[in-house]
Chains A and B, each alone.
Chain A
């Protein structure tokens, strides 16, 4: 394993704010990861701990087999050779693009070729003499990436790289950066609050909530087998089905478990495993789907259906394989 984290705790303000509790994870060389979480989930703190910008209260971090962080031991960030790309790029305003990229390198002819390589890599070959403020946001970002990669780190942390960009641009840039990272073979860790970004670029996604690691899994596994309702909710609106409601559909619930359905998994199709008659209140066309408000046994909820609902009443149902069961 490239990086192993065991039981990491970190709090701020003399313990008043707990940023991370008992986080453990492993990262393998050459793969791409995302740390996904809302603001305040501790994702940035985790990245900063890995980079050595913070010290943990408890727990250990091993990098390439060596202990780099623990309660008593701390390898300073500058000795870790872990790349870090900052959210607002943190380009040095008084240095040119080339000087920025060369910053972490030893002064040598070799260094100069590395700068050229990096500029070519990020597709900014003629920009070496410019200053950061003369570049557009996307270009600045690529410079920040080039600067971090120039050190040839085996692990690169990218803090919210796409959060400053609007949707169309972010997809382009995401693809571009992903391609660049692929050519270098670096283990990249994206810190992001955007599920789509995380799914699009990662081999594995690490979900954090309120300082706790909920799940580390591939995008497919994350979607198919979410460890918590929270993880499933990242992707879709969920409907919680209570035991009496399940009974309406002819499904017998077990005690101590929670049952959820993604709202587009309810439909009026006839091949559903469980079905029940419902009253349709309202049906609205949303483009990709119809949002339909229905009532089952006096309880009102919304369903996303590919087809419009029948007038008045209909037979609503779902497939057994789509049911998400948590607990036990």
Chain B
């Protein structure tokens, strides 16, 4: 035992270098709020826990589970099928549909929910249509858990679509041909070969969907569905037990983390990447006539459901309240949103890259693993992260105030929590994963031999980074920037809690109108979020295609 420790210690001393320090510090910086929340598990929940478990938890869990399962299945169907058809076949409107399919990402899902409620509302298009057909027709009620699952799915399927599409685009023709030669037709090849191969991509996408579903509060609340996240808010504000809320959040975190671990363990031994030396990319099969239009309809359906319908409803509302918009203030809010999102996205990309490289360059394997903890924040509901950031932040702020008073006898304000610093930090904690994953994938595509070649030509890690990796990673970095940017633009609960004075974002404005039951007025800021999101999404699509 002692000898073993001895060798381990030697190995540690030999390999612990400045990159290990950087990696450790960065990881620590990111996971402080998460650790703070997990520590709540030790404290245990508040006194209402028993009441909560007895009366609410089973129902809430059941609802969350239902949503998780149905949304996984639906997003899988929508995302995988559209990705497969658009990479494997050629049909009318394919090139447009390719990027249109990503657009639902630009609409916050609670806004999609509001819009759908409007579409199916009394006097809305669906009800009017049904009434026109037959006055006896009942109203189609979508404001229930099934409707919620549907709405969330049409709004979240692009996560699966994007992941699968990138994967399908990189499959080599020879694989499919091999399958065909072995007697499998197109359909069977898809189910027996492509689908199992695409599993990591699909699972990656579905996990993102699940996290969004579990994090959703706005849509579920409006549809009257109580979920696990409702429980967090209920115990926090209804019971006034912050510890019960964080306890629940921590439990949620543990559940999600276990899911990810189980999946990773299960596929550890298998290889999914085919060494694609040479190998032609998949060639598209051209579909003509009825079959072509049929596929267009199938692939177009998610676009119609996830983007066109909600946007049409928002536009309809916006036109009605157009005259009441205060343009000056509106532009100021839009400007602030853009600036905050831009700043947060830039920092996320920089930190994610730094974390990734430090984890990579350091030679202790466990530290490399540790850096992966940095992405945990994505699994935590925004409001809970806000608290995880806010409370430690205040401790520092108060210390700063005391120190400033004692040393310089000046009064300073809340340096962190009173300014955008805490807000941006919280965005980083929450959205680092969004930047980390594409950059990490991009890094994997940069062959190691290129870096070694640079090294053998006399360049150290820094020079290699700036001259080889950074230029090659550029598309991935831009993609990461855009994804975080859109997410921050949409973010709501965290921003509500942490935003400083006189800072207003579009998402907050939309939410405040909506929560004051002025949905129509909410349409304008919502549409702006959509518009701001659409441009980068189109750009993102071009990146994927070039790649």
Contact = CB atoms under 8 A, between A and B. Distances in A.
Asked if A and B touch directly (CB within 8 angstroms), the answer is: yes
Interface of A: 51-53, 72, 76-84, 86-88, 90, 92-94, 103-104, 147-148, 151
Given A92-B468, A103-B467, A51 B450 contact: no
A78 B455 contact: yes
B450 A90 contact: yes
B460 A76 contact: yes
Contact of A86 (B14, B453, B460, B467): B453
17 contacts: A51-B452, A53-B456, A72-B14, A77-B452, A78-B457, A78-B459, A80-B456, A81-B458, A82-B456, A86-B452, A88-B277, A88-B447, A88-B449, A90-B452, A94-B472, A104-B458, A104-B459
B224 interface: no
B478 to A, nearest CB: 15
A81 B456 CA distance: 7
B449 A77 contact: no
B471 interface: yes
A72 B457 CA distance: 24
B528 interface: no
Contacts of A77: 452, 455-456
A90 B458 contact: no
Contacts of B460: 76, 78
Given A53-B456, A78-B459, A86 B471 contact: no
Interface residues of B, number: 20
A103 B457 contact: yes
Nearest to B451: A90
B454 interface: yes
Given A78-B455, A104-B459, A90 B467 contact: no
B472 A151 contact: no
A84 B458 contact: no
Contacts of B456: 51-53, 77-78, 80, 82-84, 148
A98 B450 CA distance: 16
A78 B468 contact: no
B437 to A, nearest CB: 23
Interface in B45-103: none
A104 B457 contact: yes
B327 to A, nearest CB: 44
A35 B468 CA distance: 30
A94 B447 CA distance: 13
B471 A78 contact: no
A80 B471 CA distance: 25
Given A92-B468, A94-B471, A94-B472, A151 B458 contact: yes
A93 B458 contact: no
Given A78-B459, A104-B458, 15 more contacts: A77-B452, A77-B455, A77-B456, A78-B454, A78-B463, A79-B458, A88-B277, A88-B447, A90-B447, A90-B453, A92-B450, A92-B453, A103-B454, A103-B457, A148-B456
